[in-house]
Amino acid sequence: MWDSGRVTGNDAHLPAPRPTPDHPHPDAAAPSLIAIEQLEDAKDDLRAAIKDRRSQLDRKALDSSARDITQQVLALTATLGLGAGDTVAAYVSRHAEPGTLPTLEALHAAGLEVLVPVLGPALDRCWGVFTGQDDLAQLAPGRPLEPRGTCEEATAVGRARLVLCPALAIDDAGVRLGLGGGWYDRALLHADPAAHVVGVVYDEEANHPPLPRAPHDVPVHGVLTPTSWWQLPAA
């Protein structure tokens, strides 16, 4: 187990086995279309409430939590024994997401390879190597900043020993509520099964009451916030 010393008081049920590209739907019984629609509606309501709360964070709070997240990520990578030459996959934060820009810079400066999403046509799950904020550009309207350099295919995330995923909320079983594109759920099918998949949220979005979970939802193994990080019990 790894954690930064935080007590989670966790008695949640265990995450389901992680799906793979060959077996993306581990659940035996497929839910009905109506059940899926209700589940999507429930997720959308939660997303709206969390985005509304995030929209009230001012620049100072966002910058300060981004710096705190960097400290937590550096402590986590040290605990996992990651260093120069290892690969970490992360995301380029935007709007009021838990900020990652100082983290990306710090990991890059420490000699790690840092992969970030590149969407490509039809929101393809490609990855680019982060080489500094100056190399990031808005390659298509409405999308997060992306590296200008070469785009690597979806399997590139298989190199990562740590994958930091954006999330709006995470429950104690590792269910992650994302933006709603299913990008990370599909991308994580290519992660190394031994990689640590960690969702990044603000403190008040962690330990969320049980989130709606669809068969395609890939659970995370751990949670990182501006103040701590911890492994979920079954990971």
Ligand X SMILES: Nc1ncnc2c1ncn2[C@@H]1O[C@H](COP(=O)(O)OP(=O)(O)OP(=O)(O)O)[C@@H](O)[C@H]1O
The residues of the shown chain that bind ligand X, judged by CB under 6 A, are 24, 43, 177-186, 214, 216-217
The phi and psi torsions of 108 (rounded to 5 degrees) equal -65, -45
Closest residue to bound ligand X by CB: 178
- 97 is in the binding site of which of ligand X, ligand FFO, none (Cβ under 5 to 8 A by kind)? ligand FFO
- 185 is in the binding site of which of ligand X, ligand FFO, none (Cβ under 5 to 8 A by kind)? ligand X
- The secondary element (H helix, E strand) that includes residue 128 is strand 126-129
Q: How far is the CB of 139 from ligand FFO (least distance, A)?
A: 12
Q: How far is the CB of 66 from ligand FFO (least distance, A)?
A: 12
Looking at beta carbons only, is 30 or 140 nearer to ligand FFO?
140
Amino acid identity at 133: Q
Pick the binder of ligand FFO from 12, 151, 179, 214 (CB under 6 A): 179
- The secondary element (H helix, E strand) that includes residue 61 is helix 59-79
Pick the binder of ligand FFO from 94, 108, 148, 216 (CB under 6 A): 94
Residues 115-144 contacting ligand FFO, CB under 6 A: 117, 119, 142-144
| DSSP codes joined into one string, 87-102 | EEE-----TTSPP-HH
Q: What residues are paired with 8 via a beta bridge?
A: none
> DSSP state, 135?
G
Structure tokens at 194: 């031994």
Structure tokens at 84: 């120069």
Q: How far is the CB of 171 from ligand FFO (least distance, A)?
A: 18
- 217 is in the binding site of which of ligand FFO, ligand X, none (Cβ under 5 to 8 A by kind)? ligand X
199 part of the interface to ligand FFO, by CB under 6 A: no
Other residues' Cβ atoms within 10 Å of the Cβ of residue 25: 10
Other residues' Cβ atoms within 10 Å of the Cβ of residue 63: 13
Q: What residues are paired with 231 via a beta bridge?
A: 222
- 216 is in the binding site of which of ligand X, ligand FFO, none (Cβ under 5 to 8 A by kind)? ligand X
Structure tokens at 169: 């909320």
- 43 is in the binding site of which of ligand FFO, ligand X, none (Cβ under 5 to 8 A by kind)? ligand X
Computed on alpha carbons and rounded to an integer, the radius of gyration of the chain in Å comes to: 17
**Residues near 86 by Cβ (< 8 Å), separated by ≥ 6?**
77, 112, 113, 161
- State how far the Cα of 235 lies from the Cα of 170, in Å rounded to an integer: 14
Q: How far is the CB of 109 from ligand X (least distance, A)?
A: 27
Q: How far is the CB of 29 from ligand FFO (least distance, A)?
A: 26
Q: How far is the CB of 21 from ligand X (least distance, A)?
A: 9
Q: Which residue has the tokens 């994958």?
A: 163
Q: Which stretch binds ligand FFO (CB under 6 A): 13-21, 51-59, 86-94, 222-230?
A: 86-94
